[in-house]
Structure 1
């Protein structure tokens, strides 16, 4: 099993950052690879069990299910149901942690998954962290004010 991890500190308070991260249907507003998101199952984007379809800019689709949304720990957890990515048994989470002395925040994006393309767990985790999470979190910093 691969374990991918990326984190970034932002000069933005944790509550403000969490308002953006907790929007399960809001990823295309700041993630550079996704053009649209639509909740297709469940009553809404904050309901556990909600399913979103994320459409990549190149037309590929991810289907993901919200499995946790915890305001007390500022953590959103989701599973990939299907995707044009070489992963199985994917569970991801994003967490916002306050940095007290500077009134800023640390955002952590982590996941566990099984690579399906024959890559080693270490190579797959590095590819996920550097190829997906790093550019997305860089873009997040320019979106949230």
Structure 2
């Protein structure tokens, strides 16, 4: 399995940061490459099993399933059902933790996956991390 990772420290509290990150259907609010999100099955946006259909700014579509939502540990885990990405078996977790000395928050975004046929783990990781970076920057913008 290959992995991708991105992280950042926020001045907003862990609770404030989590309030935004936990909304499975809220990605268009902070990811600049995502235009729309719609829950298309499996329950509501806070129910594990919910499936969202994301539409990118370029018209691409992604189906993702909410695999877990841990309110106590502030973790959201999701899986890609179908997407135009060079990965298979993608599972990712966003984890928000408090920063003790500042009162801010630390967000980590971990993913594990297999590279799709015809690509390498390094190329697939680069594609994912190139998507995580502007998403985290967008999150900083709305939490400022």
Q: CA deviation at 1:115?
A: 1.1
Alignment partner of 2:69: what SS?
strand
Aligned to 2:62: 62
Residue 75 (structure 2) pairs with residue 112 (structure 1):
no
Separation (CA, whole Å) in 2 of partners of 1:127 and 1:85: 8
Aligned to 1:127: 127
Separation (CA, whole Å) in 2 of partners of 1:117 and 1:36: 29
Aligned to 2:92: 92
Aligned to 2:24: 24
Q: CA deviation at 1:122?
A: 2.9
Q: Deviating runs (4+, > 4 A) in structure 1?
A: none
Aligned to 1:101: 101
Separation (CA, whole Å) in 1 of partners of 2:91 and 2:113: 6
Aligned to 2:12: 12
RMSD: 1.1
Q: CA deviation at 1:117?
A: 4.7
Give the structure-2-normalised TM-score.
0.96
CA contact (8 A) 2:43 2:49 kept: no
Q: CA deviation at 1:121?
A: 1.6
Number of residue pairs the alignment of both structures matches = 144
Separation (CA, whole Å) in 2 of partners of 1:64 and 1:94: 14
Separation (CA, whole Å) in 2 of partners of 1:43 and 1:90: 21
